[in-house]
Amino acid sequence: MNRVATGAAVGGALGASIGALYGTYEAFRYKVPGLYKVRYIGQTTLSSAAVFGLFLGAGSLLHCGRSQGY
């Protein structure tokens, strides 16, 4: 279970960084006004972190269930 938690944490961190970059780009591209930029970037960051963390955690769960023999 430790590998699954590690995979989800790494996925969340990676997803958050990509989400922050993408959210910032989109906020300036579509000229989101004022403090709505912060809200938009935050929503994009959290949703991207949650989705990517979920998928990387699930992938780690599937992978750690396999035997180590090739």
- Given a cut of 60, is residue 69 above it in pLDDT? no
Rounded to a whole number of angstroms, the CA Rg of the chain reads 16
- Given a cut of 70, is residue 42 above it in pLDDT? yes
Instruction: Please check whether residue 53 is in contact with residue 9, taking contact to mean a CB–CB distance below 8 angstroms.
Output: yes
- Given a cut of 90, is residue 1 above it in pLDDT? no
| Alpha-carbon span 65 to 10, nearest angstrom | 19
How much is the average pLDDT of 5-29? 97
Tokens of 70: 């090739």
How much is the average pLDDT of 46-70? 86
Name the pLDDT band for 64 (thresholds 50, 70, 90).
confident
- Phi/psi at 42 (5° precision): -65, -45
pLDDT score of 66: 67
How much is the average pLDDT of 41-49? 98
Closest CA to 23 of 47, 55, 53: 47
